[in-house]
């Protein structure tokens, strides 16, 4: 564990990113989703290290143990942070794995800094290519949904994030794939971020257009998404992302919610390791038989 010092300063001091670095072998950088921290990856790190990989996780600015600037939460700033991490740790032949919001960081990094150091990428339940519904993006999500997220954060962040966690993991009247203790753990990680960072990054993933970023990707790509994702709906995201990347393999986990890295972690870890080892995954569609329920909270 350690910190990297960024070029950006606040009140005369350099901002820092907290990171963890485990194992040996080719590097894999795991980029966490919103509104959690790098600790969300605890169920992947050991398996990846055991498979012979060096695994790096880090807290996005404003989250976990990283510095908390009041502003500068655009995807350009977040991609610059990722670039600093890669350069300062001198990572090469690496795989970038971005979950949800983190998928945007992966594709913006490649657009702005190139793929010379990158061997593969994995986009997991990613917010790409563009979530907001506009005239040029008719399959997106209505802006009122995102305005509701922002209003909920500003009105009662703890209550909003509590409800959000249930939707995130597909908790409903008929389904409860995670324990109450795990939901509380996720809520605690989410509340550890600054209120301003949580709000500003929500704006970033809601309103950033990644379509041009995706068209330039020329490295092997694995896309994974659950078709019961009520947080980042598959039709507005990965279904379209898969059509914009030439070398993409696309796995649809049937019945899986947004937080599939935990609810379907055995299959997810196996698919991730297969892609890291061979560059391919064994099956085009994974069929899970978890019953679907009526998910409370946000719906699109």
Domains of the chain: 2-286 (3.40.50.1820)
CA distance 291 to 242: 26
Q: Is the pLDDT of residue 107 over 80?
A: yes
Question: Mean pLDDT, the chain, as a whole number?
Answer: 93
- Summarize pLDDT for 80-100 with one digit per residue, the tens: 999 999 999 999 999 999 999
Cβ-Cβ contacts under 8 Å for 224 (sequence gap 6 or more): 122, 123, 124, 125, 238, 250, 251, 253, 260, 268, 271
CA distances from 274 to 16, 148, 199, 282 (A): 33, 39, 36, 8
CA distances from 98 to 28, 147, 160, 288 (A): 11, 24, 24, 22
pTM metric for this prediction: 0.93
Which residues have a catalytic role annotated? 100, 229, 258
CA distance 99 to 49: 19
CA distances from 194 to 30, 123, 124, 201 (A): 21, 25, 24, 11
- Range in 183-192, 219-228, 240-249 the model is least confident about: 240-249
Res. 283 pLDDT band, cuts 50 70 90? low
CA distances from 171 to 15, 24, 53, 176, 213 (A): 37, 37, 33, 5, 33
Helix (H, G, I), strand (E, B) or coil at 91: coil
């Amino acid at each position: 564990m350690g910190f990297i010092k960024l070029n950006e300063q606040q009140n005369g001091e350099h901002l820092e990113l907290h990171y963890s670095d485990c194992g040996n072998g080719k590097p894999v950088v795991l980029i966490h989703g919103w509104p959690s921290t790098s600790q969300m990856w605890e169920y992947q790190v050991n398996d990846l290290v055991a498979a012979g990989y060096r695994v790096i996780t880090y807290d996005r600015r404003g989250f976990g143990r990283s510095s908390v600037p009041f502003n500068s939460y655009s995807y350009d700033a977040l991609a610059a942070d990722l670039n600093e991490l890669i350069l300062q740790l001198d990572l090469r032949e690496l795989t970038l794995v971005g979950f949800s919001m983190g998928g945007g960081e992966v594709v913006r990094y490649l657009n702005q800094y190139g793929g010379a150091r990158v061997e593969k990428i994995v986009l997991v339940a990613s917010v790409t290519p563009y979530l907001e519904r506009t005239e040029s993006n008719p399959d997106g999500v209505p802006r009122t949904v995102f305005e509701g997220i922002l209003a909920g954060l500003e009105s009662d962040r703890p209550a909003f994030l509590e409800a959000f966690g249930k939707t995130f993991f597909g908790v409903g009247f008929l389904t409860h794939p995670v324990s109450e203790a795990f939901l509380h753990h996720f809520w605690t990680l989410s509340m550890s971020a600054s209120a301003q960072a949580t709000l500003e990054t929500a704006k970033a993933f809601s309103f950033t257009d990644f379509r041009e970023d995706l068209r330039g990707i020329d490295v092997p790509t694995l896309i994974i998404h659950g078709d019961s994702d009520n947080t980042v709906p598959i039709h507005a995201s990965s279904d379209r992302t898969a059509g914009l990347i030439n070398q993409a393999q696309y796995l649809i986990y049937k019945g899986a919610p947004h937080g599939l890295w935990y609810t379907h972690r055995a299959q997810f870890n196996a698919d991730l390791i297969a892609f890291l080892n061979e560059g391919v995954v064994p099956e085009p569609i994974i069929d899970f038989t978890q019953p679907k329920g009526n998910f409370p909270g946000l719906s699109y």
